[in-house]
Chains A and B, each alone.
Chain A
């Protein structure tokens, strides 16, 4: 297990290194400079370039950037009055983390419930409905949900605030929009796993012991079916990150996603790079966490000492 962990951490670092380098070089060949405002004279642009170190040869810039990144310094935003990128991002982590966590929680719980019910009532209308919800939830992009809900529920019915971030009720519509994806993925995965488990020999043995329907479904089947669900948490987290970009934008939530989109539109390179690195780090970290979690939950892996 330890060896496996070390190996995983090394991969994690390589991945991050590749992301940071790729981001840096890609940013270098992007057309357009952040200082393309017509109000600035050439001389002013040159001064600013020097100030930001943009006049140095690219390899030097790269080394500087790497050194700073390792120290946790992601540079300064071009657009926001030289605010450090880390400060800018840390201000915005709160709403994003809150939304993401809430959507993940709501989504997986509802999804697992739907999947289990569908498996227990296999090939009945309950199953078909749950499967249909899952396909629709997976198919329709979160920004369509977000947009339609904003129009019908917030604007027309007025049940929830249309946008902004001024209280708990502001988080409800974005959460629903974001949780559609986890709901459908968890429901489909859970259904398959549960059916698999219900058909396994140890469930027959549990029946042969005289265990009741409830005991079998909860004590024997659910537990075993839940374990592999941990493996989809990683992809779900990525789905949420993707979704958060547009959902935060639609509901004007002051989160990382909204920041990312606006910095793309304003060519604010340091912020784009910072956000990219943050996303990649988060992703790699979640994947690792899922792996460890899986090892802890499944006794076969835990005690056999890793796969």
Chain B
């Protein structure tokens, strides 16, 4: 076929010894779970961009309130409802940072000049004259805190419940499944709202209310995984070798579910952010003094007609955070879910 004219010499027909073990050499370096996952996640550009944005958001959530010369809860009645104005950007009229405000009838007002205010409020101020830049980042910090703590609690309860239910099976499992089934039958919304009505307003009650409902999904997924894993040979082998039950659970079964657990936790974070904002919106959120993305959106919504920036900026922040979390969770699911592996 290829070069037919090639001279075939006799010596080419001498036997060679073939080392058959060579062909069974493993060519690819073996990767551990995290390296392998990272290789997969890295292919998903949307997830990588989202991760970068998320890192920036988290950084700003801590640095932001310090960057602003104003305290997030410092009221200043004479500086109320000022539109955003940023040094250097104020002369670029198409950017929304020129310190002007368009009224409903289309006239443009200059509150800074009109009220003789020299200060620059980067994101403007609210109706009590508080600096929105500081409040937004402070609010992001609180919202993230609530969401992350709630998600971690979900994970802790859900994994424990699911693992116990799945591993022990039998009557324990039966009872635990019935409990889950009844809980699944009640809409989250109702439980959260009722819990918030009963508990005093604050960050911890919101976390508690969110965790009370959030773990059920995790528990179901973990149980299904445990049921699958505990029948597999490596677990049977461990049991045959006399490993103790907790050791089997924590050393053999749970590490094999990291992927599923992480994916689930990543999805419950944006869910918690949503519910926090939702509660603020129906008047069950944090007390007015505190800032969270939810209270900011809600306050902004009330003054939307006159001062749209008060609504739009927190709306963008909460949307961005949610989108970023969902994108990362999607990327992780595609990368970690063994079902989708090639």
Contacts and interface: CB of A to CB of B under 8 A. Distances in A.
A31 B199 CA distance: 9
A279 interface: yes
B198 A15 contact: no
Contact of B283 (A135, A264, A279): A264
Given A18-B182, A280-B186, A147 B198 contact: no
Contacts of A155: 104, 305
Interface in B154-206: 181-182, 185-190, 193-195, 197-198, 200
A147 B185 contact: no
Contacts of A265: 283
A14 interface: yes
B340 to A, nearest CB: 10
Q: What interface size band does chain A fall in? A: 35 or more
B304 interface: yes
B198 A140 contact: no
Contact of B301 (A245, A250, A287): A250
Given A139-B323, A242-B278, A23 B194 contact: yes
Contact of A144 (B187, B190, B194, B315): B315
A241 interface: yes
B197 A26 contact: yes
B278 A141 contact: yes
B227 interface: no
A284 B185 contact: yes
Given A15-B185, A272-B197, A246 B281 contact: yes
Contact of A30 (B198, B278, B315): B198
Chain A CB within 10 Å — which of B186, B274, B318 has the most?
A: B186
Contacts of A12: 185
A151 B311 contact: yes
Nearest to A32: B197
B315 A148 contact: yes
A283 B185 contact: yes
A304 to B, nearest CB: 22
Q: Which 3 A-B pairs have the closest CB atoms?
A: A15-B185, A139-B322, A139-B323
Given A14-B182, A30-B197, A139-B319, 18 more contacts: A15-B186, A19-B185, A30-B198, A31-B200, A139-B323, A141-B277, A143-B278, A143-B301, A148-B311, A151-B305, A151-B308, A238-B188, A242-B188, A242-B189, A245-B282, A279-B187, A280-B190, A287-B185
